[in-house]
Amino acid sequence: MKILITGGAGFIGSNYIKYMLKRYLDYKIVNLDKLTYAGNLDNLRGVEGNKNYTFVKGDIADTMLVGDIIKDVDVVINFAAETHVDRSISDPADFIKTDVYGTYVLLEAARIHEIERFIQISTDEVYGDAGDEPSKEDDPLMPRSPYAASKAGADRLAFSFWATYKTPVVITRCTNNYGYNQYPEKMIPLFVTNALEDKPLPVYGDGKNTRDWIFVEDHCHAIDIILHSDGIQGEVFNIGSGTEKSILEIADMILDMLGKSNEMIEFVEDRPGHVKRHAVNTEKLRSVLDWHPSIAFQTGMERTIEWYKENKGWWQKIKSGEYLEYYKRMYGKRRRIESR
Ligand code: NAD
Ligand code: TYD
């Protein structure tokens, strides 16, 4: 099988490429990545020399390039996206260009070249606030940030290609991932690396908003099962571990695991439109495709924290230059608020 993975230099994409190359010794993988601030070839160390792996630097919104690559592949898995909610609030344009238009370019090439499967990596953010019950696949989409709205556009565009042209699309909506090589502007790696640097952990609002957290390898396993399952075209699958934690619970856990004081928590002005709860019902994935998460949150967090402790070079290189400007822009003006 020859697979086009887009966004393979990012967090989940790079973990997925490593997972697949290890598991399927005869599969060929092409990684198309624009190498934005979040794309990092250091995430693929040890993979570059693999004869089954090819890297192409480029944009998923580049019609010529995408057509040229897709004509030779069997399957497309679209991870490429602008992914950070906070950045989408301050500057949404790239989210629309990549997440919506870029996905359209990939779908159109997939339709023309009649590829065998197109997996759209969507997100549980498309549901908006879960409210009292974890979101189900047929719940209405009520995205609350420009990121979530762009992903919802891509998600439904992918579905429309199945409904209209029978392009064999499958859509996944996963909850928050954590693990190795996650860019340290997302909550868990930000808190872990700040704690390691003895810097404050910026908790938004009262810290009570919750997310359902999944270890990235469990997500990779779910995508692998979806890739190899027949008869699921046009379907949407939620992916999640059912481990709901508040921001504050995670900040406390990280500080506790690193033997640091919880005085390092700094409550800051909330994110506009901040979703109170993201959680998904994964009954469909469990019953139809027999997938189950295998890494408990405590184990996954121990592994993750260990990885950031042992790979200081990886994140210290990122947390310099442009990142420091970003940090100042994002957190410098944020009002401090009363702590618990
Ligand atoms: P990431 O920000 O770490 O990586 C995104 C990658 O996409 C980067 O390598 C970047 O260079 C690349 N990219 C961006 N624009 C591009 C373009 N125009 N053309 C080609 N490449 C481009 O993101 P991630 O956390 O690994 O997320 C991957 C996918 O999974 C995204 O589609 C995201 O919406 C989805 N997702 C993420 C989570 C999560 O918790 N991280 C949860 C559910 C779904
Ligand atoms: P994030 O990692 O940005 O993922 P998402 O918004 O896509 O769920 O944020 C996860 C949670 O952590 C979310 O409730 C916002 C919160 N958060 C903070 O409290 N402080 C921070 O500095 C960041 C980046 C996030």
Structural domains in the chain?
2-178+216-239 (3.40.50.720), 187-210+244-272+297-339 (3.90.25.10)
Q: What is the pLDDT of residues 227-284, one digit of tens each?
A: 999 999 999 999 999 999 999 999 999 999 999 999 999 999 999 999 999 999 999 9
Q: Would you state the pLDDT for residue 331?
A: 96
Structure token pair of residue 334: 């944020």
Is 147 catalytic? The answer is: yes
Structural Rg of the chain based on CA atoms: 19
For range 28-53, the mean pLDDT: 97
What's residue 132's pLDDT?
97
- Ligand 1 center to 11 CA (angstroms): 7
Q: Is 205 exposed, middle or buried (0-12, 13-18, 19+ CB in 10 A)?
A: middle
* Distances from the Cα of 90 to the Cα of 124, 318, 338, angstroms: 21, 21, 25
- Ligand 2 centroid to 198 CA: how many Å? 19
**Across 39-67, average pLDDT:** 97
Report in angstroms the alpha-carbon separations of 206 from 185, 267, 303, 333, 337: 20, 7, 28, 18, 9
List, in order, residues 6 or more apart from 55 with CB less than 8 Å away. Answer: 8, 9, 30, 31, 33, 41, 44, 48
What's the pLDDT at 204?
Answer: 97
Do residues 29 and 21 lie in contact, with contact meaning Cβ atoms separated by under 8 Å? yes
Q: Mean pLDDT, to the nearest integer, of 141-170?
A: 98
339, pLDDT greater than 80: no
Residue 314 CA to ligand 1 center (angstroms) comes to: 18
pLDDT band at 338, cuts 50/70/90? confident
**What does pLDDT average to over the chain?**
97
Beta carbon of 5 within 6 Å of any ligand 1 atom: no
Please report the pLDDT score of residue 337 as a whole number: 85
Ligand at minimal distance from the CA of 99 is 1
Confidence of residue 72 (pLDDT cuts 50, 70, 90): very high
Would you say the C-alpha torsion 308, 282, 85, 206 has a positive or negative sign? negative
Question: What's the pLDDT tens digit per position in 281-303?
Answer: 999 999 999 999 999 999 999 99
- Rounded to whole angstroms, the Cα distance separating 250 from 178 reads 12
Ligand nearest to the CA of 81: 1
Q: Which amino acid is at 21?
A: L
> What is the pLDDT confidence band of residue 340, given thresholds at 50, 70 and 90?
low
Residue pLDDT, tens place only, 100-144: 999 999 999 999 999 999 999 999 999 999 999 999 999 999 999
Q: pLDDT exceeding 90 applies to what percent of the chain?
A: 97
| Catalytic hit among 124, 155, 218, 235 | 124
Closest C-alpha to 268, from 333, 191, 329: 333
Name the closest-CA residue to atom 7, ligand 2: 85
What is the predicted pLDDT for the residue at 218? 98
Nearest atom in ligand 1 to the alpha carbon of residue 98 is: 18
Is the confidence at residue 170, as pLDDT, over 70? yes
Query: Residue 146's pLDDT band (boundaries 50, 70, 90)?
Result: very high
pLDDT-based confidence at residue 335 (cuts at 50, 70, 90)? confident
* Residue in 171, 224, 213 with CA at minimum distance from that of residue 19: 224
d(CA 68, CA 70): 6
